[in-house]
Structure 1
Amino acid sequence: MHIFSISPREVMVSLWRNRNLIAVSVRREVLGRYRGSVFGIFWSFFNPLLMLAIYTVVFSVVFQARWGAGSSSKTEFAMVLFAGLIIFNLFTECINRSPGLIISNVNLVKKVVFPLEILPAVGVLTAMFHALISFGVWFLAYGLFFGIPHVTVLLLPIVVWPLLMFIMGLSWCLASLGVYLRDVSQIISVVTSVLMFMSPIFYPVSALPESYRQFLYLNPLTPVIEMTRDVLYWGRVPSFELLVIYWVATAFVAWVGFVWFQKTRKGFADVL
């Protein structure tokens, strides 16, 4: 019987050991999504560009929305909203697909030598590719409307990386649960829909009464959405203490998810 390691070190070792296979799989996923279309992979650029244009017209022109009482910029709301949506879409694209990762790859389950633990990583990196395109569109729009971005944008990787660890941990858990409990995908679809309105995407945290803000921070997406806006748009350096807590917490979630996956994967072949 094959014994799967569950040490924290094995999380990164496994991903690094299979990096070439992951890269090939991500490339196949990205290209496969647009195979047969006229514009092909350029759709990954057109989609966020179109959405940003719609947000700008709808919120800044139609609704005359502003981000906060002291704001006067017509495009600010759209830019701030789009930054939050990039993070949320990265999260939901991975989480909504996670319960079906193993079920949709039954042929790989039968192959003892195939590292099933890389499937969530492939999903995360594929979603990250589209998120990077969206960030590129965001920077392009910022340059057109406001000029040179703040130097704090260089901190974006250390803000987003903990989110990727958090997503990986949840993806490992959900991919395993999806094998044994087919209702998981339906549950997650509902949860992510609710989470969209329970995250500070369409409104700032300050818009809530102070007594309710603590509940909003129970949402694990709130810190990364707020910090992303800080480094991208507001030019603020994130709280070092909050970053440390977020890094430690998400690393722990990633390890727990990996342990769960490794412990439960032995029964995949029997169930499928």
Structure 2
Amino acid sequence: MKPATSSQAQTAVPISFSRALVALVANIRDNHFVLSKIVRNEVISRYRNTLLGVLWSLVTPLIMLLVYSFVFGLVFKVRFGVNPAQADVPYGVVLFSGLMLHILLAETLMRAQGIVLENPNYVKRVVFPLEILPVAVLLSNLVHAFVALGVLVAVMLAYGLSLHWTAILLPVAWLPLLVMLQGLALLVASLGVFIRDIGQILGLLTTILMFSSSILFPPEMLPETLRPWLLLNPLTIPVDASRDVLLWGTFPNWERLGIYGLVAFATLWIGAWWFLRTKRGFAEVM
């Protein structure tokens, strides 16, 4: 008997919406070793055949942070916000604390939209849990985000800034974004198979998200009538929460973070269901 092809295996049992998230978690658990290998390859291949290799993951955020600090802090003398405690933190540090989350979002979505197309053998020739590919994309970019975070903390200490005890809550501030981002990565990984120009759409969208969030300016700079619209941006609440616990030494807005977490969980569930349901048709269009 011939072994089942990927398309045959994927069309055999449709995934119901109620079981989509359970199926995703089960596939990640059952294939954690394969997932770890893919993550490792994603991290290494990004800098393959380059002069510094993986050291670029350290050098790039360091140079970015130093440039932002020099241009906005020493040249333009920009300060973030009107609160004296906020004004004491160099604008380059404040800016980078938000930009690293935007970079995580943008690079994850841009990489996820092509991850299935770049691995046709997984789709056509073997039975393979394709849903772990977008998971690997997020995890590999999270590695780079952790490196950027380390650079940020080092520069904060070099500036003589206090590392508040509330920094231990940073995972709580990041987790809802990661959950939502995983759901979005699953969605765009599937859409990228059927809509080949989604990369151009995502490029524009991620740029709009950066300029319409609180990365560049505090929400207090907007009229009160416009501030609620800022909260619709998926970056605003995680960026504000990250700055609260890491830079300002305060608690995040728990109500906003909780609501964001519920929306993020729903996004992950929908993304898992959509990917598991549509992957049955990948082989037909590749």
TM superposition score category, shorter chain reference: over 0.9
For 1:106, give the aligned amino acid.
P
- Asked if the contact 1:177/1:184 (under 8 Å) is kept, the reply is yes
For 2:224, give the aligned amino acid.
E
Match of 2:210 among 187, 196, 202: 196
Q: Which whole-Å CA distance do the structure 1 matches of 2:162 and 2:205 have between them?
A: 38
Aligned residues: 272
Is 1:262 the counterpart of 2:262? The answer is no
C-alpha displacement at 1:239, in angstroms? 2.5
Deviations, residues 173-232 of structure 1 (Å, cap 9, x unaligned): 111111111121111111111111011111111111111101111112110010011111
C-alpha displacement at 1:112, in angstroms? 4.1
For 1:244, give the aligned amino acid.
G
For 1:30, give the aligned amino acid.
V
Mapping for residues 1-272 of structure 1, pairs under 5 Å: 1-3=11-13, 5-6=15-16, 7=19, 8-71=21-84, 76-272=90-286
C-alpha displacement at 1:148, in angstroms? 4.3
For 1:236, give the aligned amino acid.
T
- Asked if the contact 1:124/1:168 (under 8 Å) is kept, the reply is yes
SS at the partner of 2:12? coil
For 1:33, give the aligned amino acid.
R
Q: Which whole-Å CA distance do the structure 1 matches of 2:50 and 2:88 have between them?
A: 35
Q: Percent identity?
A: 39
Q: Which whole-Å CA distance do the structure 1 matches of 2:146 and 2:244 have between them?
A: 18
- Structure 2 unmatched runs, 5+: 1-10
Residues 1:118 and 1:4: Cα distance change in structure 2 (over 3 Å): farther
Give the CA RMSD over aligned residues.
1.6
Residues 1:111 and 1:165: Cα distance change in structure 2 (over 3 Å): farther
Q: Which whole-Å CA distance do the structure 1 matches of 2:46 and 2:187 have between them?
A: 25
- Asked if the contact 2:166/2:249 (under 8 Å) is kept, the reply is yes
- Structure 1 unmatched runs, 5+: none
Q: TM-score, normalised by structure 2?
A: 0.91
C-alpha displacement at 1:4, in angstroms? 5.0
SS at the partner of 2:142? helix
C-alpha displacement at 1:75, in angstroms? 5.2
Q: Which whole-Å CA distance do the structure 2 matches of 1:261 and 1:184 have between them?
A: 16
Which segment is superposed worse, 260-269 or 235-244?
235-244
Q: Which whole-Å CA distance do the structure 1 matches of 2:31 and 2:172 have between them?
A: 24
- Asked if the contact 2:79/2:87 (under 8 Å) is kept, the reply is yes
Q: TM-score, normalised by structure 1?
A: 0.95
SS at the partner of 2:78? coil
- Asked if the contact 1:22/1:118 (under 8 Å) is kept, the reply is yes
- Asked if the contact 1:60/1:75 (under 8 Å) is kept, the reply is no
For 2:80, give the aligned amino acid.
W
For 1:180, give the aligned amino acid.
F
Q: Which whole-Å CA distance do the structure 1 matches of 2:159 and 2:176 have between them?
A: 30
- Asked if the contact 2:108/2:185 (under 8 Å) is kept, the reply is yes
